[in-house]
Amino acid sequence: MWRDLVVCERVQQSPDTVAYGLARPDGTALPKALPGQYISVQVRLADGARQIRQYSLTRAPRQEQWGITVKAVPAGTIAGVGIPAGELSNSLHQNVFEGDYLSCSLPYGDLILHDRPDPLLLVSAGIGCTPIIGMLHYLARTNSDRDITVLHADQSPGRHAHRRELSDLVEQTPSARLIHWYEDLGVRSSTGTVRRGLIDLDDIPIDPRVRAYLCGPPVFMDVVRQHLVNRHVPQAHVSYEVFGPDTWTPTAPAA
């Protein structure tokens, strides 16, 4: 199940995110991955313990190279109590560079983009962009003519990992459109496609047949999911990924 892949690329995507390109050391094809899937990465930490974490594939289904992007989880406080910095994400940022090896699993995951003609809504926030980037690579490569709306929310343009790649992929997919929301837009003015503030779907056309894929913090996904359900999108058409233990219980839609 585990295989050592070589880090062939390391790109600082934003102050707290690093993208890694991973390949087989002998250059042969990697196992097939479906758009939206993730791999597990196993790392021996400084205390000798082996830890495993999951990272969504940003380049699926390319078979010559996989891509993952890791956000370094900072130390902080919750309700006044200090919590430590994330172990594995910070270890990767500090210790893993081009030419190093990473022990990786096969691709897994149920958040899979199925080939259907229905309109598509891809919604992400922060590091939740990763499976969506993987899906958009697939849609661009297959010249998809699905009606695609891509919505992304982030702190600021400078902290938005894969910002340029997201815009480029949407441009390569003629039937796709993109709107960003940034909490901090700096001195820039809000436009129709780059907006200031938190995500707001009120003026976004939503076809009730849409297939929606969500990835971001649970609070964000709650807001988006509730909005979709209120606009008559069946709950079964809304798929999501939680970047942590899947204890998310979506709140019931407003009556």
Ligand X SMILES: Cc1cc2nc3c(=O)[nH]c(=O)nc-3n(C[C@H](O)[C@H](O)[C@H](O)COP(=O)(O)OP(=O)(O)OC[C@H]3O[C@@H](n4cnc5c(N)ncnc54)[C@H](O)[C@@H]3O)c2cc1C
Dist. CA 89–CA 103, nearest whole Å: 14
Name the segment binding ligand X (CB under 6 A); options: 87-95, 96-104, 113-121, 177-185.
87-95
CA dist 59 and 186 (Å) reads: 31
Identity of the residue, 53 or 59, whose beta carbon is nearer to ligand X in the bound complex: 53
According to the binding rule CB under 6 A, does residue 70 interact with ligand X?
yes
53 binds ligand X (CB under 6 A): yes
Among 86, 157, 217, 250, binds ligand X (CB under 6 A): 86
Site mask for ligand X (CB under 6 A), range 129-158, x = bound: -x----------------------------
Near ligand X by CB under 6 A: residue from 34, 113, 120, 127: 127
Q: Is 244 an interacting residue with respect to ligand X (CB under 6 A)?
A: yes
Task: State CA 233 to chain mean position distance.
Answer: 22
Query: Which member of 23, 34, 88, 122 binds ligand X (CB under 6 A)?
Result: 88
69 near ligand X, judged by CB under 6 A? yes
Q: How far is 196 from 198, CA to CA, in rounded Å?
A: 7
Number of chain residues interacting with ligand X (CB under 6 A): 22
DSSP string across 167-199: HHHHHHSTTEEEEEEES--TTPPP-SSEEESS-
Long-range contacts of 185-191 (CB under 8 A, 24+ apart): 185/156, 185/157, 186/156, 186/157, 188/157
Closest CA to 143 of 121, 172, 171: 172
Both structure tokens of 209: 């047949």
Stretch that binds ligand X, among 24-32, 63-71, 199-207, 220-228 (CB under 6 A): 63-71
Given the rule CB under 6 A, which of 49-57, 117-125, 166-174, 196-204 is the region that contacts ligand X? 49-57
Residue 102 contacts ligand X per CB under 6 A: no
Tell which one of 42, 65, 87, 237 touches ligand X (CB under 6 A).
87
**Is residue 221 within a helix (H) or strand (E), and if so which, with residue range?**
helix 218-230
Give the shortest CB-254-to-ligand X separation in angstroms: 29
Stretch (H or E) spanning 227 = helix 218-230
Does position 241 interact with ligand X (CB under 6 A)? The reply is: yes
Torsion, Cα of 128, 180, 147, 210 (10° steps): 60
Binding site for ligand X (CB under 6 A): 38, 53-56, 69-71, 73, 83-84, 86-90, 109, 127, 130, 241, 243-244
